Chain A
Amino acid sequence: MKSFFLLIPFALLSFFNKQSSQKITAPQTTGTLKITFVNTVKGKPLELNTVKYTNPFGEEYSISKFKYYISQVSLLRGKAVFFEPENFHLIDESNADALHFSFALGAGNYSSLNFLLGVDSLHNVSGAQTGALDPLNDMFWTWNSGYVMAKIEGHSPQAKVVNNKFEFHIGGFMGENNVLKNITLSFPDGKSLNIQEGKTSEIIIEADIDKCWQQPNDIKIAEHPVCSAPGPLAKKIADNYSKMFTVKDILN
């Protein structure tokens, strides 16, 4: 009798521990999924500052900053969806360590990938955050609370502003100004993600800046050198860049 009661706290404790660990790894056997982002312009790896590119409207430009938030990553296995535990990743072209992330995933075959481009509305209204969401990362508007979901900055002779610098700071999480993009990527023909116990598989995602200028909205640097607030322009640019991602390769 006595020993039975003694067991209660430990049973409860293990229950809570189990709960939290279940969130991280649903099935018993797990491997690791690494997701790597390769930022490109027209398929060629992006070179910050040094290389001049031309957009579909013949405007010449270079890129000095390219950052975006990836969150709510999930994968489809059969008909079941498996999420990465709540986490935010700031992909930053200027930092080689900020171009990939990894998490544990149950063993099995997965057929597609889904993520949110941006930071969900709750985390835009919940006060001071840390980690990838730390305002130190210069992705938080101090005068109009909310995260910049993506930043594209560069120079172009067509940008008739100080230093010919164009900057797209894309944010907005509320109502009609919402720029959050839920993005589903299918895998290349004949490829599937096979997570095996104790091993690391990798998905390589290409983000092509060339897609930001067109489809569905024409964005000319000469007309819109600056976007620094939520609103219709930010939404148009977000519509375009939501189509810049493709899965390039899967390494099992």
Chain B
Amino acid sequence: MAITKAILVRRFLAPLWSSCKGTSVALGVRLRIIILLCVCTSLAALFIGAADNAAINFADGKLPDYIEFKIPPGWPKPAKDIFAKNKLSEQGFQLGKKLFYDTRLSKDGSNIACANCHQQFAAFATYDHDFSHGQNDQHTTRNAPALFNLAWMTNYHWDGGINHIEVQPLSPLTSPTEMAETLENVLAKLKKDSSYPTMFKAAFGTDEINSQRMLKALAQFTGSIVSANSKYDKVLRGEAKFTYSEENGYAVFKANCAACHKEPLFTDNSLRNNGLPINEYLKDYGRMKITGKPEDSLKFKVPSLRNVAVSFPYMHDGRFYSLGAVIEHYRNGISPQPTLDSLLTKKIDISNAQKSELIYFLNTLTDTSMTKNPRFAK
């Protein structure tokens, strides 16, 4: 901290201070008061900031390039500010991206990166797979969720068991059927790398590599993936027009789906039982595994419908391969269960024509400016 102060004075204050000399006496004094006040405020902020986050230590005064996390116009504010104690920066984002695409995060020989199961072109879900492939070609037990607009989520995983974006990667990283690695080994591998120490230093101030910094960097990358530029968004902004079928499909959506798949995020972040018959092989009771409560039996997270056309198959076990099959489930496949969501006790009554229109509408939710954005690519 002392060094930071010294640099601040040497680089910025001394020249500023002397530049006031050329002005008239009264103006010079006033200018200097203003400078002093600014310095006091920023120093105070430095102290408070330092106390807030021990992960960050910019001893040599070289701060990263901070980025503002932009909330799309008309969107709600995220429920909790995931970047409040993990200030988003270009260097943090780039480090997180490198980690996301790095196979060294998995057990040696398995060559699995986060990106293996979270593929950008599939909106960061696993394309065309009900279950993803983990270490030794084992299968996961749930369908890999798409990753976008995570800043607006209140919890993560199909059962909502993860309460913060930063701690989510611990789960796939250590799961024996996924990346199957230990945190100790991952950190040891990162420390041996030629570029990571420099990147950690650029993002967090020193070249120390620890689990907290790694997880915060990953959160900077995944939390930055925002999808808000589909045709649907363009229509709302007046930049595009729905076709006749899409327009009708939007009406069907609003009447039958929007209560759970709430706009603009196309999810209300709730966990519900949507009437899927239990998968006899997996016997996955969803939320009940987390809370232990019978009333949470078979409840799973309502996924966002954004990019739904590219993130198939659907449901927590990927049992449906087409949007048509999903809609058919809501029309005729609901299984009556004690914890069935009250909104689904009456089956969704739409015609075949409305079903096709609904699919046309759902296709307008694909956001290629996200799925093809080079900023999120390897």
Contacts and interface: CB of A to CB of B under 8 A. Distances in A.
Contacts of B183: 135-136
Contact of B162 (A16, A129, A145, A230): A145
A251 interface: no
B167 A229 contact: no
B40 A140 contact: no
Given A5-B32, A127-B86, A136-B211, A12 B166 contact: no
Which bucket holds chain A's interface residue count?
A: 20 to 34
B271 to A, nearest CB: 14
B168 to A, nearest CB: 8
Contacts of A136: 183-184, 187, 211
A9 B42 CA distance: 11
A135 B85 contact: no
A95 interface: no
B205 to A, nearest CB: 14
Contacts of A31: none
Contacts of B86: 127
B215 interface: yes
A231 B290 CA distance: 10
B210 to A, nearest CB: 6
Contact of A16 (B32, B33, B47): B47
Contact of B167 (A127, A130, A230, A231): A127
A20 B36 contact: no
A162 interface: no
B282 interface: no
A12 B37 CA distance: 10
Given A127-B166, A127-B216, A130-B212, A20 B292 contact: no
Interface of B: 29, 32-33, 36-37, 39-40, 43-44, 47, 51, 54-55, 82, 85-86, 157, 161-167, 170-171, 173-175, 183-184, 187, 210-212, 215-216, 219, 289-290, 292
20 contacts: A6-B36, A9-B39, A9-B43, A12-B43, A13-B43, A125-B163, A127-B82, A127-B164, A127-B166, A127-B167, A127-B215, A128-B212, A130-B211, A134-B211, A142-B171, A143-B171, A144-B289, A145-B161, A146-B163, A177-B292
Given A142-B170, A145-B162, 7 more contacts: A6-B36, A8-B40, A9-B36, A125-B163, A128-B55, A143-B161, A230-B292
